Structure formats: structure tokens, C-alpha cells
Amino acid sequence: MVTGIIQSFGYFALFALMTLESVFVPIPSEVTMPFAGYLASQGSLNLWFVMLAGALGNLAGSLVGYYIGYLLEESVLIGWIRRYGKYVLLKEEDYHRGASWFSKYGSAAVFLSRLLPAVRTYISLPAGMFEMNVWRFSLYTFAGSLLWSGLLAWIGYLLGNQWNDIGDYVAPLEYGIAVCGVLLVGYYLYRRARK
């Protein structure tokens, strides 16, 4: 279904699907972006525009999540998650994991979480709740989303007709990115502690 929508509506569909993914609708970017990359390898789409549409879609959806967190009190938000979260695969522990990441790593968490499974969708809520500067949030979100979307699209582009084998390649990359992210945050915290 996702692939048919992208084939029919191109960049607009890609933008919309990535926006929905970032607003807690369970549409996996691990399918959306590689398929768009595959279409770019076939000449139907431009790879650079695919990456840009994916990142802008993530940013748009993340801003919705940010403002939900910004406008709602935490108790109301958690009540909503308990009641309706199951319909969009959002669990209370996902929210708490995102909040923990944000309180621990601050702005860096917004960038790094865009590269990690599960946390990447939910980090917007605590960023809004803790009133992170919206421009800084947008910059880190766009940068992390561009990297993630670009990586998935590029892999789909390279795989060509075998784009649906992406799962074999993405899982090790996610772990590698997570390790690099933790090391970078550790180095950042170390440097701050020394100052």
C-alpha cells in the first residue's frame, strides 16, 4: 500500500507518509525511504529530492509532536497515551524513554534520536514539554532526519530491484549508529564536565 501511494503521488506522498510517521502513525520509514530510493534508481524520482522530501516530512510531523508536548501538561499527555496510544502504537514507556533521553542529553538527544528506532518518533513530545527553543529543535530534527532519510534512500537506490531486502542492511546500521551516538554524547558530556 505504501509503495503504491509513493508510485502514484511521488514526492508529495513521500512527504505526507514521513509526516504521518513522525506524528505517531505506524508507517515505517524503513519501507518508505528505501522504496523511494529504488524509484530514484529507476529514474522515476530524483534521489536528492527524495532525501529532502523525507526530511521535510519528518520535520513537519515532529513539529506537530513538539507543539502537542508544548501545549499539554504531562499528566494530560500521559492520560491520552494510556487511553489512545494503542491505536498508533504509542506506549507510555516510549514517552518516558524519550523524556529520559531528552533530560539526559538535551539538544543532542533530538539529533541523535532521529537515528534510533522507537525513540526517534517520540522525542518531539518531551522537547516541546521542556520548551526547547523551536528553531533549535527544528534544526536538529531536520539534520538528523536528513541523515536518516538520506541513508535509507541511498541504500534503496544502491539495492535497486532488491530494495525490499533493506531489513538485512538496516538493523546492523541502526546498532552502529546507536553506538556512535552514545560515544559522541559521552565525548560531549566529558568535554562539558572538564570545562
The 10s digit of each residue's pLDDT in 69-80 is: 888 877 887 887
Q: Which pLDDT band holds residue 83 (cuts at 50, 70, 90)? A: confident
Residues 194 and 109: their CA atoms lie apart, in Å, by 20
- How many structural domains are present in the chain? 1
Contact 20, 5 (CB under 8 A): no
Element at 62 (helix H, strand E): helix 47-71
pLDDT digits (tens, 9 = 90+) for 110-169: 888 787 766 677 788 888 888 889 999 999 999 999 999 999 999 889 987 775 565 555
Nearest to 149 by CA among 12, 57, 75, 26: 57
Closest CA to 39 of 169, 166, 156: 156
Across 10-14, 63-67, 178-182, least confident range = 178-182
CA dihedral over 61, 66, 72, 75, signed as positive or negative:
positive
Predicted model pTM: 0.74
Task: Give the pLDDT mean for 37-47.
Answer: 92
Average the pLDDT over 176-194 and give the result.
Answer: 57
Cβ–Cβ under 8 Å, residues 183 and 112: no
Domain hosting residue 159, numbered range = 2-194
Compute the distance between CA of residue 52 and CA of residue 174 in angstroms, rounded to an integer: 21
Q: At what angle do helices 166-194 and 29-41 cross, to 10 degrees?
A: 110
CA terminus-to-terminus distance, the chain: 52
Give pLDDT, residue 143. 94
> Where residue 81 falls among pLDDT bands split at 50, 70, 90?
confident
